[in-house]
Chains A and B, each alone.
Chain A
Amino acid sequence: MTRSVALVVASCWASALVAQEREGGTAAVFERFADRVVKLQVVERGSGAKSSLGTGFFVTADGRLVSNYHVVAETVANDRYRLEWLDQNGIANPARVVAIDVVRDLSIVATDKPRSTFFTLDRSALARGSRLYSLGHPEDLGLSIVEGTYNGLLEHTLYPKIHFTGPINPGMSGGPSLTAQGAVVGVNVATAGNSLGFLVPVDAAIALLDRSADDADLPFDDLIAEQVLANQERYLATLFNQADSSVTIGPFRLPTQPADFFRCWADAEREDEALFEFVDHRCSTDDFIYLSGSQSSGIVSLSHRVVISRGLNPLRFYALYTNQFNQDNGLGWRPEGDVTEYRCRDDNVRQDGLLMRVSFCVRRYRKYRGLYDARVKAAVLGARDAGVVTQLNLSGVSFENAERLARHYLGRIRWASR
């Protein structure tokens, strides 16, 4: 700890001159553009108190703002909340959401106040390492500007995101990240801590702004479901397409790495005196689509636990196997108002000579028609000393996709050697 602090101090002295020069630049950027960035707050109607806040920025002469969907989500989902924007003097004015893109986490908010200054959104190519300035209201501490660098697009994501190296903090969501010349590059959306920030590329905001007139009429719940369903067709179609994405664990050949945007991990549990061993393998998407505080879509995960006997008799081994099968059910709890209870089908299923106990469960999102959480879990039967508990979890997908992927997944489970 002491050492790292010392290092930071030393480097500060060394670059004092450069920093001074740059601060002048940052101050100029703030001076020029601060009035185009406002605070958005979600207010509970009954108490008049704010329940959450974020940032937005003006993009049209008729006073439209761009922000994140997750900043305004509560007001879209629930009549109990309304949206306000705060002008330079801190005076609250009403605002309304006119367009959303849940997949890209963007929204367009109308303030109905004409503007003389606003950002003109334009696509521009940028070199990795370019300096960017990010504006927003971190933790309700007032409008702030942070410097950072553009680090290109992220890999392993469901949809494109810019990797911004700079301290984006809660409350800055929805704010712009721009070049010194005032060209907006992206919209602040997420942070992974330690100056790891993520931006939604500006072209998504341009596209949403272009069609913001049409969307306003639709009921937002249906629109959200529609957007999520359209998006999943795109990424779910790519799952399990690579023929070689299988892994051999013990006597089993099992699916892995369903697509590039998955990350996989493995671990094993082998204790000297234990009468069994576990080998675990799991893959998950790194990314998800925010729908509401407790609902999301796009999380796909799979896990295998291979259980191998080291001297347990079959009855004892199957007692252990049963526990493993029933223990990790991977079906998370969500508030009852958001989703229905799970409904499951259990059966012994035989496919290409392989016998499995299969449990397939689904529950529906109450508000979003056509969106389901699904899980298929299987245990391979027939061996007296080895088994695998494997499951695929899908959140916020259509029933047809859930069924298709579950089937496909089961079809990829094989004996490696027998």
Chain B
Amino acid sequence: MGQPLVIEIADHRGRLLQRTRLGPGSCTIGRGYRNDIILDDQYVDPEHLEIASNGAGDWIVTDLGSRNGTTVVATGQFLRQGLLQPGQELRIGHTTIRVFASDHPVPPAQALGTGTGLMARYVEPKRATAILAGALVLTGISQYLGSSSTQSFAELATPALGLLLLAALWATAWAFTNRIVAHRFRFISHLAWTALIVVGYSIVAIGIEWLEFLVPRFDWSLVQVGIGTGVFATLLAGHLQLVTDWTAARQWRVAALAAAAGLVIVGIIGQADWLDDGEDTAAVDRSPLKPVSSRLVPSSGPDRFFDRAADLKAEVDEMAGDDDGGAAEPAGEPDPPDTAAASDAPGGR
């Protein structure tokens, strides 16, 4: 059963070169200039392939004795002659030929002036300016709430402007990337997207602070790392959407991979000894306190608190190397001795 077919020619990177509807008679494909479809691929013969109608409405594809042959992508087998059907994919040289039926559906047209994705629409310049202004105001408010002295306008505005400057540097890098890859600039969009993510993350961070205050027994640090990585991936995915024509799935995949790689790098650097400034035998306190009526705060009694604290003994004993009640592990490197010629009395105050 014959039907009109469309073939799609793509280069070795998958980029679409052309679509052609197969007309009556035959159609030849090759590097030579006498072909109906002329390919710029040095691994393709001057006369490589012929597609011809057999009169019954079917299309027959024939390799014209090419040097590198014609491969069916799905099976990996060479094809000398065969029936051409929608959905098929052939490879000649480094070129891919995909076959579609002429009733293959396409999405409706987008309105003029919009970007390629959802995100790009949200950060078009008019909205982007509003987002930026909102971010600056919120940063100013947060500076005010975090301070405990009378603040001048300059003091309130400085962190906002500092943040703006950093965001602008980041957005500039993306805008230049965009210029190189897709010949668009979209600086304002990149900047607004960055600002939106920063504001979003700040709001989430405030939420986590409240959770840390209300539910201190839970270790929120992993949640923080997870959310931080997720937010960074979202930031990257948004920028990729502004820069590339990839599918959403691919943009997210790449962004998630980059964020995970970033997490690994930060993790490795965090483990490095040269960052270990000896603070580890001191304790770091990170408890947020919040103004809430004390009746609304979940709490435990002192008995319960110290019951749970009793586990600390086992924890630090294990760190000291007593697990079975056996002899304590010998101490690590001893102190270098005092270089003073005389030993000081301990109370030398």
Contacts and interface: CB of A to CB of B under 8 A. Distances in A.
Contact of A190 (B279, B282, B291, B348): B348
13 contacts: A42-B343, A52-B338, A189-B345, A191-B348, A192-B349, A193-B348, A275-B150, A290-B346, A316-B147, A318-B291, A325-B287, A347-B216, A362-B313
A101 interface: no
Interface string A83-107: 0000000000000000000000100
A395 interface: no
Task: Determine which residue in A42, A68, A337 has the highest number of CB atoms from chain B within 10 A of its CB, and name it.
Answer: A337
Interface in B236-283: 278-283
A54 B343 contact: yes
Interface stretch (B2-10, B41-49, B327-335): B327-335
B280 to A, nearest CB: 5
A375 B313 CA distance: 13
Given A336-B280, A343-B315, A381-B294, A325 B289 contact: yes
B76 interface: no
Interface stretch (B65-73, B106-114, B303-311): B303-311
A101 to B, nearest CB: 14
B316 interface: yes
B226 interface: no
B152 interface: no
B56 interface: no
Nearest to A293: B335
Given A53-B343, A345-B308, A369 B337 contact: no
Closest 5 CB pairs of A and B: A190-B347, A337-B332, A382-B294, A171-B342, A51-B337
Contacts, number: 252
A362 B316 CA distance: 7
Interface of B: 144-150, 213-214, 216-217, 278-294, 297-302, 305-306, 308-310, 312-313, 315-317, 319-322, 328-335, 337-349
Given A340-B281, A387-B289, A170 B343 contact: yes
Contact of A326 (B217, B285, B319, B345): B285
Contacts of A366: 320-321, 328-329, 331-332
Contact of B337 (A42, A168, A172): A42
Interface residues of A, number: 106
B328 to A, nearest CB: 5
A315 B136 CA distance: 20
Nearest to B145: A315
A410 interface: yes
B181 to A, nearest CB: 43
A169 B341 CA distance: 12
Interface string A272-305: 0111100000000001101011101000000000
A74 B287 contact: no
Given A53-B342, A329-B284, A340-B319, A349 B348 contact: no
Contacts of A357: 213, 216, 287, 289
Given A318-B291, A339-B281, A341-B280, A360 B312 contact: yes
A170 B344 contact: yes
B319 A347 contact: no
B145 to A, nearest CB: 5
B22 to A, nearest CB: 71
A5 B296 CA distance: 68
A120 to B, nearest CB: 25
B347 to A, nearest CB: 3
B305 to A, nearest CB: 5
Interface in A155-209: 168-173, 188-193, 198
A54 to B, nearest CB: 5
A151 B299 CA distance: 53
